[in-house]
Amino acid sequence: MGWIKRNLFFVIGGGVALVLLGGAGYYIYQGWSRNSAAAVKLGETYETLVRLAQEKPYPGDEKVNNTQIAKEQERQVHDWVKQAREGYRSLPAIPPGGSVTSEAYAAALRRTIDQLQHEADGASVTLPPKYDFSFTAQRPLVKFAAGSLNSLAAQLGEVKAMSEILFAARINALDSFQRVRVSDDDATGPQSDYLDERPQTNALAILTPYVVTFRCFTPELARVISGFASSSNAFIVKSLNIQPAGAAETGDQTAGMPGVPGGTLPGMPMPGRYGREMMPPPTAVPQPAAQPAAGRGGLPVVLKEQLLRVTLEVELVKLLPKS
């Protein structure tokens, strides 16, 4: 104790120095820990930079900023999508409006069918007798199945738009329209008015199929395809089945072949009564008709146009509402 009293200032100074050394050691330890963490993070950043620099394309340098270019291209894609949506406008329903009543639809259906029949007559397009454009089941009704009016109104607008494309192309005859069933009333209609397919829905749109059968020549067919391609609505021609109209009407692949009466080849057994087969009577082999000689100065016939029966499968693309 005497020594401490004689060296009190030295003891106090030593204690203060010891405390300061302890604080300095703790501060150094914290700094070392921060430096270690920063070194690890720097190493990871450097590895990421090396990896990005080796990629193709790489983010960029002082001359080329690929990151900014990517952002600009993303903006251009969004602008293009916004512009492209204009080409996928939905066809107006008939009658328009989100809530359709039975009375309004019944009146609009009769009015639209009469209008299409008059347009077909004005375009010299032959229709089946009393044709209802695939709405035979709905034409006589005044009350419709619950929950089907909006879908029927949409289909009526779509059939009208496609019919007008066909009439504008001046086809010779419209044989049939086929659509998907959207109402319980469709079960009572003729099966030739409907498809067994269903609309397909993906992340962007609803694809609604239609099949239309008509007769025309090749120039009219070209105008039909052009009309669907240039339409302001998104029609996709999925398939095209073409055959001569005469062969399609007989329903026999051998129809129209020389020396094939009634679609039966010479020498083929014909079905007899009770399932027995009979040989056809001998028939004279037809001789090729003499071709008329072209007059002096006349040109030979290079292409002889014939009427075609066309079955066209079309899908209508309707974009889903923006989420």
pLDDT tens column, 240-285: 999 998 865 555 443 333 333 334 434 444 444 333 344 444 444 4
Q: How far is CA 247 from the centre of its chain?
A: 31
Residue % of the chain over a pLDDT of 90:
41
pLDDT in tens, 84-124: 777 677 788 999 877 889 999 999 999 999 999 999 999 99
pLDDT score, position 297: 56
pLDDT score, position 265: 39
Residues 71 and 100 reside in one and the same domain: no
pLDDT score, position 291: 54
Whether 176 and 213 have beta carbons less than 8 Å apart is answered as yes
Which phi and psi (to 5°) does residue 254 adopt? -90, 0
Parent domain of 186: 92-249+307-319
Residues 180 and 75 reside in one and the same domain: no
Residues 60 and 96 reside in one and the same domain: no
Three-point CA angle 119, 125, 126, nearest 5°: 115
In a domain, 274, yes or no: no
pLDDT score, position 258: 39
Q: What is the DSSP letter of 60?
A: B
**What is the rounded CA–CA span in Å between residue 138 and residue 163?**
18
Residues 98 and 30 reside in one and the same domain: no
313: which 2 tokens? 């499968």
In a domain, 279, yes or no: no
In a domain, 259, yes or no: no
Q: 323, 316, 284: which is closest to 155 by C-alpha?
A: 316
pLDDT in tens, 46-71: 888 777 667 666 666 667 777 788 88
In a domain, 244, yes or no: yes
pLDDT score, position 251: 52
Task: CATH number of the domain at 96, please.
Answer: 3.30.70.60
In a domain, 37, yes or no: yes
**What is the rounded CA–CA span in Å between residue 59 and residue 57?**
7
Residues 243 and 196 reside in one and the same domain: yes
Listed residues 84, 112, 131: the one ending a domain: 84
Residues 14 and 142 reside in one and the same domain: no
pLDDT score, position 255: 39
Residues 178 and 311 reside in one and the same domain: yes
Any idea which of 5-9, 169-173, 257-261, 291-295 has the lowest mean pLDDT?
A: 257-261
Residues 44 and 76 reside in one and the same domain: yes
Residues 100 and 239 reside in one and the same domain: yes
Three-point CA angle 199, 201, 205, nearest 5°: 110
In a domain, 264, yes or no: no
pLDDT higher than threshold 70 for residue 290: no
pLDDT higher than threshold 70 for residue 35: yes
pLDDT score, position 320: 81
Tally of domains in the chain? 2
In a domain, 134, yes or no: yes
73: which 2 tokens? 């291209």
Residues 29 and 101 reside in one and the same domain: no
Residues 131-162 as b/e (b if ≥16 CB within 10 A, e otherwise) read bbbbbbbbeebeebbeebbebbbbbbbbbbbb
pLDDT score, position 168: 95
Mean pLDDT for 189-216 is 91
Mean pLDDT for 125-140 is 94
Residues 108 and 195 reside in one and the same domain: yes
Listed residues 63, 84, 105: the one ending a domain: 84
Length reported for the chain: 323
**What is the rounded CA–CA span in Å between residue 41 and residue 135?**
71
pLDDT higher than threshold 50 for residue 21: yes
Residues 145 and 49 reside in one and the same domain: no
In a domain, 267, yes or no: no
Averaged confidence pLDDT in the chain: 80
pLDDT in tens, 142-199: 999 988 999 999 999 999 999 999 999 999 999 999 999 999 999 988 999 999 989 9
pTM: predicted TM-score of the whole model, two decimal places: 0.62
Listed residues 84, 111, 134: the one ending a domain: 84
